[in-house]
Chain A
Amino acid sequence: MDDGDPRDLRSVLAAWALVHELADEGWKAAVARGEAGPRDAPGPGAGAADGTSGAAAGATAGGTAAFVDAVAAQVHREKEALKARLAGTDASAASGGRVDGDAALEALRFEVAEVRTRLESIEATLDALHAHLTPDDEA
């Protein structure tokens, strides 16, 4: 997920959590449960990105409540990242415009390269046609 994307629900929730730093005890408890791994369940916020830490491997249960706790933990981490960016410690936040521009340029470069690949393929077919139409002594 791209950091700082205004359309990102997690970012929106993180911003809300930051503004309301006095988040209530219920919220904090949900974050703690999500960070530790849901009661029985693994959560997206429960472990490392590869899901290898947190609750006991393979344990799943808890339904919607477990999912909400895990999301709460994700939002908490997003909030900390947002705090860091606002504190000016995240240099990438300042160069966000540049990053977008680079991505657009890279996408365009790929489009061109893909067209070039197709043209080369057509050229190979034309070469083959030419070779077949040209008598051997001329070739």
Chain B
Amino acid sequence: MAGRGRAIAATALRTGARVAWRRGFGLRRGDAASRAAAREVRRGLERLGPAFVKLGQLASVRPDLVPADLAFELGALRDRVAPHPAPAIRAVVARELGAAPDALFASWDDAPVASASIAQVHAATLARPYRPAVGPVLPAGTKVAVKVVKPGVEAALAEDVALAYRVVRLAARLPAVARLDPAALVAEVEASVARELDLRVEARASLRFARFFRDDPRILVPSVVGRHTTRRVLVTTFVDGWRLSDLGAAERAGVDAHGLAVHGATAFLRQVLELGAFHADLHPANLLVTPDGRIAYLDFGIVGTTTAAEREAIAQLLVATAFGDADRAVRASRALGLALPPDREAPIRAAVDGLLRTHLTERHPADLRGFALGVLRLLQRERVPIPPGYGLLLKSLVTVEGVARALVPDVDVVRTAAPTASDVLLRTLSRPERLRARAPAAVRAAVRELLA
């Protein structure tokens, strides 16, 4: 514990020094210096290991707590670590499933396909046919991905989380830090890590997504093999494909990148607005383009959720954004919990209108990232508390844009979002209770119009 504590302190000090250097020891201001400092914080967290990567990932969806530049930079957090040796992984599989991998699978590859700090993935083939919850029967010999939680990870994470609690307790003596409630963020980390360590949670999320997209031939969600899935082992069908960063090869193979970018953005909006659950960890390793031109979603370890009321407000906000409607944007923001002080509402509305024009109306293609950053900076400058769900929404939209842009650099996500958002909005507004509530006013307006 003491050794780990010293290592954390040393890394934190080194990172602090780098951040101070990037900021010119307080003399350098502006976006470039902020971005450079944020990059140093991200690299520092990556060096500190899984619990801190998790802390950063959670902070990345809380632009209400951390500066907007840092929140966006932390969205790029990755943990890539050396894989555990094959015997240790085989031992986990044997302990979890009661037999060695060679007895369970027709073939097993000791060389891992991928390795992160919590788990690593091995390729294998099914020994017997399997009927998944969604999709056709998988014949014997089907290639599968076996995700295995690394041995000792749980204890290491618990140690880091305990250390993090001690650090934030000390830091909370400073009033400025106490205001941010860092202990609550560490508690979120603890809960999130616990969810990620139980691969059955990911299996259930994967099943739900597979069913939701069952009728969409351009979206692929791997099938879960229940009979080989436990708390520490998750078996799904193997997906071959290109990472978004290797799309040149995909296009040479004839994949319609533009179609996929547009479809991918729409599919993400459907998750947010219709399913009420969305893949919250989209990065190049979790999103593949398959040789038959499909988008494959991998790794449902981190899933965001939206309530019905949030979905309605989000649809309103998307429509407002797509149609450059600042009034609707402010109304929908209020419904998402944004409390604008009455005396500041007019200037904030004018500023949002300006941002809409600068980044969306007068820009081709629209720049959603610039708009979202502008709104967050505006709210932070005006000291308007940002509700967590609101920050997550803006971050999610920017993620959609980033993913689509990785496929086609000039794709316009705002334009793509308009049909899906307005469909969902119309459906929401047509609920009987909404119609009943709005009918008298609508009739009065209609009569007024007729008699005018």
Contact = CB atoms under 8 A, between A and B. Distances in A.
A14 B38 CA distance: 52
Given A60-B324, A128-B230, A131-B99, A71 B422 contact: yes
Taking chain B's interface residues, is the majority helix, strand, or loop, or is none over half, making it mixed? Answer: helix
Interface residues of B, number: 58
Contacts of B29: none
A130 B96 CA distance: 11
Contacts of A124: 96-98, 226-230
B207 A120 contact: no
Contact of B325 (A8, A46, A59, A67): A67
B244 interface: no
Contacts of A117: 132-133, 203, 207, 224, 226, 229
Contacts, number: 163
Interface in B370-385: none
B419 interface: yes
Interface string B408-437: 000010111111011100110111100100
B21 interface: no
A84 interface: no
Of B134, B259, B324, most buried by chain A (CB within 10 Å of CB) is B324
Interface residues of A, number: 50
A62 B414 CA distance: 14
Of A7, A50, A64, most buried by chain B (CB within 10 Å of CB) is A50
A121 interface: yes
A128 B422 CA distance: 51
Contacts of B132: 113, 117
A63 B97 contact: no
A7 B423 contact: no
A138 B328 CA distance: 71
Interface string A98-139: 000000000000100110111111011101111110000000
Nearest to B364: A58
A87 interface: no
B327 A63 contact: yes
Given A117-B203, A124-B228, A1 B97 contact: no
A9 B324 contact: no
B280 interface: no
A116 B133 CA distance: 8
Interface in A59-81: 59-64, 66-67, 70-71, 74
A73 B10 CA distance: 62
A128 B95 contact: yes
Given A44-B418, A63-B323, A120 B134 contact: no
B344 interface: no
Given A124-B228, A128-B95, A52 B262 contact: yes
A41 interface: yes
Contacts of B325: 62-64, 66-67
A88 interface: no
A94 B63 CA distance: 51
Contact of A60 (B97, B204, B322, B432): B322
B98 A131 contact: yes
A50 B203 contact: no
Given A7-B431, A9-B427, A58-B364, A114 B322 contact: no
Given A7-B430, A57-B412, A117-B133, 6 more contacts: A12-B430, A41-B323, A64-B327, A67-B319, A117-B132, A117-B226
The 8 lowest CB-CB distance pairs between A and B, nearest first, are A9-B430, A131-B98, A117-B226, A128-B98, A113-B133, A120-B226, A58-B364, A44-B422
8 contacts: A1-B427, A7-B431, A9-B429, A41-B324, A60-B361, A67-B323, A74-B422, A121-B226
Interface of B: 95-99, 132-134, 200, 203-204, 207, 211, 224, 226-231, 259, 262-263, 266, 319, 321-328, 356-357, 360-361, 363-366, 412, 414-419, 421-423, 426-427, 429-432, 435
